[in-house]
Structure 1
């Protein structure tokens, strides 16, 4: 467990990663972040910002305060700060050039993915990074993507073959609880229908992870009519989807809301493992809209949650079993937060996140390897370089 004196004012003081947060509504927020993070040079500064922030002003000020660093980030459905779960904040994470080198790849139009061109860009970025910093032997990739694009599944599949052995994780940008517009930050640009992939090389050992706290039940169902392009399921077991789902979880269809969806997720089996397919909402015509890929003939299994606090505590302890991470950069599904708060366990989860120096944001979905998932705690644990404790 890290000592409390290792942290002050929301800033992680370990030399290999720095982090800070500020109020999203504060016109001096970026200046305060820059002052808290301290001098560079930084290979990259990641910024996760509440929808309460002024996006245009934020992008311009970041370029002014960090003129030599790459700036990447996205809008959120909540922030992970020194306090754990948080709202209306801007979180900044700075990666010093002494320990990190990065290459970024912009995917400018998710509706017109060109896998062959994407493959070439991936290979060039990886090769450039290896040539620039051959002495850094640890690597990972982070993907930030428009959370309302509905193209995460196609994107991760297109990226998979060009990543080689590089472990990838990522998160889908959020818009609080509104689900109206989400943004990816690329330098001074706030962009939509786009994604940014960042390759990291570092002298810090790393571990990319993805956890969920669900176990599959024996309740199965088959998607019998769907609109895969829009992630809409119209029928389950040849019945209106919302009606059949409500019957299987034991509630009236009129009661279906985020509370029910968070507590009764559906999972699919991929590669011998179960992955959550969260429901975004129920339509008036009885259809269900999902946060991840769905198709006709897909077998869905009802899952039930384990205790979210106990499971997270065990997962974080495992990440620190041999050595405590300097920091944990995490993408945490907004439905996990919904579940924690509805079960009166939000404060306990926040204490765990704070104690383990977790920073990041609440997402509209997560990416791990070639798969887009939901309702997971996904990210990278970054450990001190050899010789630093």
Structure 2
């Protein structure tokens, strides 16, 4: 397995930056780029053409970001491209347009069916970060592929604006495409882990009305009204400030279920909150907050979970997908969580990834995948020797 990585800014010589990557004849190319690479239509078309010209035989996959991860560094206003040449594994690709948020389940099921293969070992998927029900998308993929197959990836970002995001596939760049690759081969080794580091505060409140990932009422009050009371002065900066105060999901008996939900949007007219994943009517939610040290410690825990599933002596790809809310909390210290993770993964790991609007990974090996929020998720991919 060979891995090469490059990073460039708008206006750089892209062909020169990509030449060392194309030299390894990759089958898979991951692309994570800042929104400005996509907002100009001509620029987006040019980037897609440059990638396709450099990697005519590879499957391209990636998305826009709220920050790019390049090794142990966190970058902004850049594109990070990572090329992977497998000695034995094969890469399948699938994509579909997400026509509406309500079509998320159907889109996931369509992509899952297109990737179904008897030797499938894992799937990477990237989806729009706005107007999407990430939970339904993953549920559709799981229905097609089975609950034991690991599905990893995330929802695209646009630097916290929550206006428009983009994904990148072999067919080009789109604001509404769900893109995925399936990895096949008996010698593939895939590791995964996640952790948060947030702590809950305040009382648990009952979800008295919701539809999928739309939260209308908490304790029979408009959800937005309740949320604003807790945020105080932060409320004037919604929806962006919602990244600092996500919800912890609790079961009907107030037990923890291991899921966090981020606020992606608000509707003043009906007093609702748009969340990054589904919630359950009759369940309970509790607000959360975090400190920088707790988030860094959580990232280390995620790395430790992953290391045990990988052969440390072999080169491997490390895909890091972390929530933009974590980036906002940590501020100038954001690189510390990436440094903590890469130190745990070791020198054989080539790290890439991005700050997202939702992270996708299994709860544990053999357990169904879910959309997580406010977590650091790590996927490692290698081939056994």
- TM-score bin, normalised by smaller chain: 0.7 to 0.9
Post-superposition shift, 1:81?
0.9
Rounded Cα–Cα distance in structure 2 between residues aligned with 1:248 and 1:178:
22
Post-superposition shift, 1:204?
4.0
Rounded Cα–Cα distance in structure 1 between residues aligned with 2:57 and 2:190:
25
Post-superposition shift, 1:119?
5.3
Deviates more, 1:43-52 or 1:282-291: 282-291
Instruction: Confirm or deny: 8 A CA contact 1:140 1:208 kept in the other structure.
Output: no
Instruction: Confirm or deny: 8 A CA contact 2:321 2:355 kept in the other structure.
Output: yes
Instruction: Confirm or deny: 8 A CA contact 1:16 1:384 kept in the other structure.
Output: no
Select which of 193, 207, 210 maps to 1:223: 207
Instruction: Confirm or deny: 8 A CA contact 2:248 2:288 kept in the other structure.
Output: yes
What is the TM-score normalised by the length of structure 1?
0.80
Select which of 303, 311, 315 maps to 2:302: 315
Post-superposition shift, 1:18?
2.7
Rounded Cα–Cα distance in structure 2 between residues aligned with 1:328 and 1:243:
41
Post-superposition shift, 1:47?
1.0
Matches within 5 A, 1:275-294: 275-284=259-268, 286-294=271-279
Q: 1:349 is paired with a residue of what secondary structure?
A: helix
2:357 aligned residue? 364
Q: 1:372 is paired with a residue of what secondary structure?
A: strand
Deviates more, 1:300-309 or 1:114-123: 114-123
Select which of 240, 247, 251 maps to 1:266: 247
Select which of 163, 176, 199 maps to 1:180: 163
Post-superposition shift, 1:221?
0.6
2:36 aligned residue? 52
1:157 aligned residue? 139
Unpaired stretches in structure 2, ≥5 consecutive residues = 38-42, 362-367
Structure 2 vs 1, CA of residues 352 and 258 (structure 1 numbering), >3 Å: closer, same or farther? farther
Rounded Cα–Cα distance in structure 1 between residues aligned with 2:230 and 2:114:
49
Rounded Cα–Cα distance in structure 2 between residues aligned with 1:349 and 1:241:
32
The CA RMSD over aligned residues, in Å, is 3.1
Post-superposition shift, 1:259?
7.5
Instruction: Confirm or deny: 8 A CA contact 1:236 1:244 kept in the other structure.
Output: yes
Unpaired stretches in structure 1, ≥5 consecutive residues = 1-14, 131-137
Matches within 5 A, 1:79-98: 79-98=68-87
Q: 1:166 is paired with a residue of what secondary structure?
A: coil
Rounded Cα–Cα distance in structure 2 between residues aligned with 1:377 and 1:163:
24
Rounded Cα–Cα distance in structure 2 between residues aligned with 1:122 and 1:254:
39
Rounded Cα–Cα distance in structure 1 between residues aligned with 2:301 and 2:375:
15
Deviations 1:1-50 (A, max 9, x none): xxxxxxxxxxxxxx433322222x02422x13322325132222111111
Deviations 1:329-383 (A, max 9, x none): 1221111111111xx5324224335544431111111223442221111231134
Matches within 5 A, 1:33-52: 33-52=17-36
Matches within 5 A, 1:282-361: 282-284=266-268, 286-294=271-279, 296-305=281-290, 307-320=294-307, 323-324=311-312, 326-341=316-331, 344-353=332-341, 355=343, 356=345, 357-361=350-354
Instruction: Confirm or deny: 8 A CA contact 2:194 2:301 kept in the other structure.
Output: no
Q: Structure 1: which 4+ aligned runs deviate by more than 6 Å?
A: 114-118
Instruction: Confirm or deny: 8 A CA contact 2:123 2:180 kept in the other structure.
Output: yes
Structure 2 vs 1, CA of residues 119 and 178 (structure 1 numbering), >3 Å: closer, same or farther? closer
Structure 2 vs 1, CA of residues 352 and 256 (structure 1 numbering), >3 Å: closer, same or farther? same
1:18 aligned residue? 4
2:115 aligned residue? 125
Structure 2 vs 1, CA of residues 89 and 197 (structure 1 numbering), >3 Å: closer, same or farther? same
Is it true that 1:142 corresponds to 2:127 in the alignment?
Answer: no
Post-superposition shift, 1:299?
1.5
Instruction: Confirm or deny: 8 A CA contact 1:62 1:188 kept in the other structure.
Output: no
2:177 aligned residue? 194
1:377 aligned residue? 376
Structure 2 vs 1, CA of residues 47 and 298 (structure 1 numbering), >3 Å: closer, same or farther? same
Q: 1:219 is paired with a residue of what secondary structure?
A: coil
Deviates more, 1:113-122 or 1:185-194: 113-122
Instruction: Confirm or deny: 8 A CA contact 2:108 2:138 kept in the other structure.
Output: no
Instruction: Confirm or deny: 8 A CA contact 1:101 1:201 kept in the other structure.
Output: yes
Rounded Cα–Cα distance in structure 1 between residues aligned with 2:144 and 2:267:
38
